[in-house]
Amino acid sequence: MNFIYKFILPLLSDKLTLDDISLDSGFCGMATKDINRPYLDNHVFLIYSIEMTNKAIAVRKKLESLNIHNKIDCKIKGKSYRIFCFPIIGKTIPTLMSNIIGLTDNETLQVYKFWKFTDNDINKKMVDITYCPELFKESIVPEFDYSPSIKFDKEGRALIC
C-alpha cells in the first residue's frame, strides 16, 4: 500500500480498523479513481473480493453502515468484487493527495490508533517528520468485465429487467 494511502485510509471513517483491511476480510486494495464511473471524482474506493467467510460478511455489513456514497458489485477479469465508495469530506485527504502531510492533532491520533504501531512507515513518520518514502500515486479501479443488461430465459427469449 502506498505511503500516503496509509494516512488516507484511517481518515475515511473513525470506525475502520486494521481487521477491516485484512486478507481474511476479503480486502483487495484501495483506489482514488474509477474509470468505470468517472463522475465519482471526489471519492475513495475500497475493493473487496466477494467471499462468504463469516469475517468477510461481518466486514461488508460494517462498511455498509458507514458513511459510504454507494457500493457496487462487479466482475474484474472474471472475479467478483464489491467496491465501497467513500466520499472525500474536508480538505485533509486532497491535501494528502498533493503529498502534503498536514494533519490536525485529532487526525494524527486517528491514524496512529488505526495502525496500532504495527506499520513501520507510520512509526518512522512519528519519529522523523521529514520521512516520506514515496509520493502519492493515484490508483485506479480496473475496468469492469462486460455484463449485458439483458437477461435471457432458457429458451433464449429476452427478459425485461
Q: What percent of the chain has pLDDT over 70?
A: 93
| Predicted pLDDT of residue 161 | 52
pLDDT at residue 99 is higher than 60: yes
Beta bridge partners of 74: 81
For residue 26 the three cell numbers come to 476479503
The more confidently predicted of residues 128 and 149 is 128
Between CA 28 and CA 105 the distance in angstroms is 30
| Predicted pLDDT of residue 43 | 96
DSSP 67: S
Q: What percent of the chain has pLDDT over 90?
A: 78
The whole-number average pLDDT for the span 8-17 is 95
| Predicted pLDDT of residue 57 | 93
In this prediction, residue 146 has a pLDDT band, given cuts at 50, 70 and 90, of confident
For residue 82, the SS3 value is: strand
Nearest to 29 by CA among 142, 145, 116, 147: 142
pLDDT at residue 121 is higher than 90: yes
The more confidently predicted of residues 126 and 64 is 64
The whole-number average pLDDT for the span 45-74 is 92
DSSP 138: -
| Predicted pLDDT of residue 24 | 92
Q: Where are the domains of the chain?
A: 5-157
The whole-number average pLDDT for the span 126-132 is 88
